[in-house]
Structure 1
Amino acid sequence: MASMYRISEFAKRVGRSASTVRRWEREGRLTAKRTATGQRYFTDGDVRQVLQPGFDEASRKTVVYCRVSSPGQRDDLASQVGAMEEFCRGRGLAVDEWVKEIGGGMDLKRKKFLALMDQIERGEVGTVVIAHKDRLARFGFEYLEHVSAKNGCTFLVANQESLSPQEEMVQDLLAIVHTFSCRLYGLRRYEKTLKDELSGGGR
């Protein structure tokens, strides 16, 4: 007897998100079966269809993401874009979308970065091209890569070190030190307050 999978189960089996499966349905790339009561389901045949090579590649975009930390680095951003254009031409990559953003590599709430990750989760992006890992995020790149791979997206890293400014790393490290210094200061204040309270309570 053939297995029957609801959308969430089917999505897990094919390594995609439920929203991606729903999009495939809307686009007519996949058709759900229905039970006598009208509930949608998929079968092992649908699983094999999705897992076959090239099933969803044609509809996925190639996106180049370029980033610098501050407005004063606009010239660096232009250089980064130019270098990525040359890199993509050399690889024969047809780019569907260019994303240029100004924001710190430690900030994972960057507007365009989040919009890109949303597109990836929806299964709309097949390849993201970046000059260096830290152009996407200073830390946690491997996790972002893992999440993206589950939605059928791969990162192509040019590893052009000259486009990953050393001064940005210094700024990010200083931001980390500042954050933890503030936390330690807060803890010291809390410790003093607690000691004062305990001393007062003992009198």
Structure 2
Amino acid sequence: MPVPVEKTPTGMWLIHDPRYEKPADTVREGRTVCYARVGSDDRKADLQRQADRLKAFAVGLGVDSPETVMEVGGGMDDGRRKLSRLLSDPTVTTLIVEHRDRLARVNAGLVESALKAAGRRLVVVDDTEFDDDLVGDVTEVLVSLCARLYGRRAAKDKAAAALKAAEDA
């Protein structure tokens, strides 16, 4: 046969056309971009240090000349222009972030799934933020509620204080 075929246990023949199928784990060749974000202007020094760490990590992975995109904006803000440009640019095939919350405070997993479906990937340098899914879920909900109640800038601090108060009670 000119294309690979497979016979299933039920007797059905599956024809694998390489023009339409690609292995799920393959990542297309393209640009590797390090995305660094801080929540406010008073953390710009942290932004540069974060970008430097990401660049060093990318070089350690064997990337010759990683690009770096730095942005100041809240993790709950879906109007971050630089991140939107990166996500919509099909030439960016690998996106490197320091922590998942640098990408998005909530639903970072959905972004990662969408990237993977498009043959792209998300690399998280420190993926040990939450060992327990329940703790992560509760924190995400608290951050979201605090962002609405107190404003986006102080949401993380308010959520941390609420978690500490809940633990102490």
Normalised TM-score (structure 1): 0.53
AA aligned to 1:117 is L
* Higher radius of gyration, 1 or 2: 1
Helix, strand or coil for the counterpart of 1:115? helix
Query: Of Structure 1 and Structure 2, which has the larger fraction of its residues in helix?
Result: 1
Answer whether contact 2:27 2:121 (CA < 8 A) is retained: no
What's the C-alpha RMSD, in Å, of the aligned pairs? 3.5
Equivalent position of 2:40 in the other structure? 70
AA aligned to 2:74 is G
Distance 1:140 1:79, change over 3 A: same
C-alpha deviation, 1:109, in angstroms: 1.2
Answer whether contact 2:27 2:120 (CA < 8 A) is retained: no
AA aligned to 1:151 is A
Equivalent position of 1:90 in the other structure? 60
Equivalent position of 2:6 in the other structure? none
AA aligned to 2:123 is L
Distance 1:143 1:175, change over 3 A: closer
Aligned partner (choices 121, 143, 148) of residue 154 of structure 1: 121
- Structure 1 runs, 4 residues or longer, greater than 6 Å off: none
Normalised TM-score (structure 2): 0.62
Q: What fraction of aligned residue pairs are identical, expressed as a percent?
A: 29
AA aligned to 1:145 is E
Residues matched between the structures, number: 127
The answer to whether structure 1 residue 57 and structure 2 residue 28 are counterparts is yes
CA distance in 1, matches of 2:17, 2:143: 53
Structure 1 portions without partners, runs of 5+: 1-42, 163-169, 183-203
C-alpha deviation, 1:133, in angstroms: 0.5
Answer whether contact 1:62 1:94 (CA < 8 A) is retained: no
CA distance in 2, matches of 1:174, 1:146: 22
AA aligned to 1:176 is L
AA aligned to 1:153 is R
